Amino acid sequence: MVSKYIGCIVAALVLISVPIAQADSLWLPVSTSMFTDIKAKQVGDLVTVMISEGASSTVKASTDVAKDMEHSNQAGIGPFLRLIPELGFSSGQSSSASGQTTMTSTFVAKVTATVTKVLENGNLEIQAKRTVVTNGEKQEITLTGIVRQMDIAADNTVMSTYLSDVSITCVGEGAVGDRQKEGVITRLVKFIF
């Protein structure tokens, strides 16, 4: 009987000395449901916008103008008009011009926006501002728009092409940006001619 107690005590000591195994849960306390994705849906939530915009335009114009004029006059009748000799002249003028302007631009960026308002229909108003300064060059991206919750992917991203009433601005300042501006003399020559 004593050996029975000793066996129980030894078993209890072994169990106490073995570390307790703990498992991490896949469930996050911030999750609203185990079966839904963590996507932006209320004011203050974040959503990543994948900006991929492109624009291309071509304008062509051509003009052809021709003008001919002929005039003749006979000597006048009467005492004063007889002094005017017979007069005649003709002239012709023609010109043509053509021009073409082509513009292509592409803008690709990634910015995280904050939900600022949830509209009555469930759509989200979003807004973002990102400023990056590299080697004295400052680049600022601002974005505002409206996104449907159903357009937000499972990884909480949305393409800029899915935004409504979108305004995307990218402004750069610094040495490179300053070189892109026209000089005073160039502006003056353009103004005069």
DSSP code per residue over 116-144 = EEE-TTS-EEEEEEEEEEETTEEEEEEEE
Q: Which of 5-14, 19-28, 37-46, 92-101 has the highest mean pLDDT?
A: 37-46
E strand or H helix at 12: helix 2-17
Q: Does 69 fall in a domain?
A: no
pLDDT tens digits, one per residue of 56-90 = 888 888 887 777 777 666 665 656 555 666 666 67
pLDDT, residue 86, reads: 64
Range of the domain at 150: 46-58+103-181
Q: Does 190 fall in a domain?
A: no
> Sign of torsion, CA 26 28 32 37?
negative
Where does the pLDDT of residue 172 fall: very low under 50, low under 70, confident under 90, or very high at 90 and above? Answer: confident
Q: Does 155 fall in a domain?
A: yes
In the predicted model, is pLDDT for residue 39 greater than 80? Answer: yes
pTM of this structure: 0.54
Which of these, 124, 158, 178, lies nearest to 50 by C-alpha position? 158
In the predicted model, is pLDDT for residue 180 greater than 70? Answer: no
Measure Cα distances from 91 to 1, 71, 162 in Å.
138, 9, 61
Q: Does 126 fall in a domain?
A: yes
Mean pLDDT of the chain: 78
More confident position, 149 or 193 = 149
Q: Does 68 fall in a domain?
A: no
Counting the structural domains of the chain, the total is 1
In this prediction, residues 97-108 reach a mean pLDDT of 83
Where does the pLDDT of residue 122 fall: very low under 50, low under 70, confident under 90, or very high at 90 and above? Answer: very high
pLDDT, residue 112, reads: 94
pLDDT, residue 136, reads: 80
In this prediction, residues 7-35 reach a mean pLDDT of 64
In the predicted model, is pLDDT for residue 48 greater than 90? Answer: yes
187 contacts: CB under 8 Å, gap ≥ 6: none
Q: Does 37 fall in a domain?
A: no
| Least confident span in 77-91, 103-117, 137-151 | 77-91
% pLDDT > 90, the chain? 30
pLDDT, residue 137, reads: 84
pLDDT, residue 36, reads: 62
